[in-house]
C-alpha cells in the first residue's frame, strides 16, 4: 500500500550539496511532527568508519564489509561534519554495494506508522518512489559554495571560496554521473530553487508544496 493510500505522510527531499535541503527537511519534520533522517549522515558514517580503520576510501570491498555492520549510534555528529568527511562520503556514496547496503535502513525509517521526512540524493527516485510529497531543492553552485564556506569557516576550518566551489562542482559531477541512483529530480518532484530565498521564505514554499500534494 502506498503512503498516500495508507494515510502516512512521507516527504522526500532531494538535492545537491549545500542546496538547503537539510534545513528544509528539518523544518518540514518539525512542522508536521514527523521523524527526520538525514540519509547523508549514513554515508558519512561509512566514510568515517573507513578512515578510522585505515582503509583507502576507494576500497569498495572494505566499504561493503563496513556498511553491513556499522553502529549508527557510535559516531558523534561533530566527527561526521567538515570538508574532508564530506568528500570521503561522496566517494563511498558512488559505490553500488554501499547504496544497496543502506537501502534497507532508509526504507525501514520511512515505513514508520505516521510517516517520515528523509533528505538525500535519491529519496524520491529510489528509497521512497511512492512518497506523496517530493521536493528537489537546488541553488546555483556559487550560492551553495558561499553557504558551505560560511558553515566551514564558522567551524574554524581554513578554507577558500574557490576551493569550496571546486568541491561543489566535483561532487555535483560525481553525484549526477554515477551509474547507481544518480542525483536527479524524480519525475513527480517539485523543484524548489532556494538561490534567492531566505530560510523562512524557502520553508514557507516547501510547506506550501507539501500541502498542495496532500490536497491533490
pLDDT tops 50 at residue 95: yes
Listed as own residue / partner, the contacts of 206-215 with beta carbons closer than 8 Å and 24 or more positions apart are: 206/13, 206/24, 206/27, 206/28, 206/135, 206/137, 207/27, 207/28, 207/31, 209/133, 209/135, 210/9, 210/11, 210/28, 210/32, 210/133, 210/135, 213/132, 213/133, 213/134, 214/9, 214/132, 214/133
**Helical ranges in the chain per DSSP H:** 3-6, 21-32, 39-52, 60-67, 83-93, 96-110, 141-154, 161-177, 199-215
Residue 127 is predicted with a pLDDT of: 96
Grid coordinates in use for 4?
498516500
Residue pair 58/174 in contact (Cβ under 8 Å)? The answer is no
Bridge partner residues of 36 (DSSP): 117
Distant-in-sequence, close-in-space partners of 59: CB < 8 Å, separation ≥ 6: 50
Residue scoring higher pLDDT (204 or 178): 204
What is the arithmetic mean of pLDDT over 54-64? Answer: 96
Please name each of the domains of the chain with its CATH number: 3-215 (3.40.50.300)
pLDDT tops 70 at residue 123: yes
What is the arithmetic mean of pLDDT over 51-68? Answer: 95
Residue 187 is predicted with a pLDDT of: 96
Residue 10 is predicted with a pLDDT of: 98
Average pLDDT, the chain: 93
pLDDT tops 60 at residue 179: yes
Bridge partner residues of 119 (DSSP): 13, 38
Residue 38 is predicted with a pLDDT of: 95
pLDDT tops 90 at residue 138: yes
pLDDT tops 70 at residue 3: no
| Distance (Å, whole) CA 32 – CA 30 | 6
Q: What band does 103 get if pLDDT is binned at 50, 70 and 90?
A: very high
Residue pair 136/189 in contact (Cβ under 8 Å)? The answer is yes
Grid coordinates in use for 162?
574557490
Amino acid at each position: 500500500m502506498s503512503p498516500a493510500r495508507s494515510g502516512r505522510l512521507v516527504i522526500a527531499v532531494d538535492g545537491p550539496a549545500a542546496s538547503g535541503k537539510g534545513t528544509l527537511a528539518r523544518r518540514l519534520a518539525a512542522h508536521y511532527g514527523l521523524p527526520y533522517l538525514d540519509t547523508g549522515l549514513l554515508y558519512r558514517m561509512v566514510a568515517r568508519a573507513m578512515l578510522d580503520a585505515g582503509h583507502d576510501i576507494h576500497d569498495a570491498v572494505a566499504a561493503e564489509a563496513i556498511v553491513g555492520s556499522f553502529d549508527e549510534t557510535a559516531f558523534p555528529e561533530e566527527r561526521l561534519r567538515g570538508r574532508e568527511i564530506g568528500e570521503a562520503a561522496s566517494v563511498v556514496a558512488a559505490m553500488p554495494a554501499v547504496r544497496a547496503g543502506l537501502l534497507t535502513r532508509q526504507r525501514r525509517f520511512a515505513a514508520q506508522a505516521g510517516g517520515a521526512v528523509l533528505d538525500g540524493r535519491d529519496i524520491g527516485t529510489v528509497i521512497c518512489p511512492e512518497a506523496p510529497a517530493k521536493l528537489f531543492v537546488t541553488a546555483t553552485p556559487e550560492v551553495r559554495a558561499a553557504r558551505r564556506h560560511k558553515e566551514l569557516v564558522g567551524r574554524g576550518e581554513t578554507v577558500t571560496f574557490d576551493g569550496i566551489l571546486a568541491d561543489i562542482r566535483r561532487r555535483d559531477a560525481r553525484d549526477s554521473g554515477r551509474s547507481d541512483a544518480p542525483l536527479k529530480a524524480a519525475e513527480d518532484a517539485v523543484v524548489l530553487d532556494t538561490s534567492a530565498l531566505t530560510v523562512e521564505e524557502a520553508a514557507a514554499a516547501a510547506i506550501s508544496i507539501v500541502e498542495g500534494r496532500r490536497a491533490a
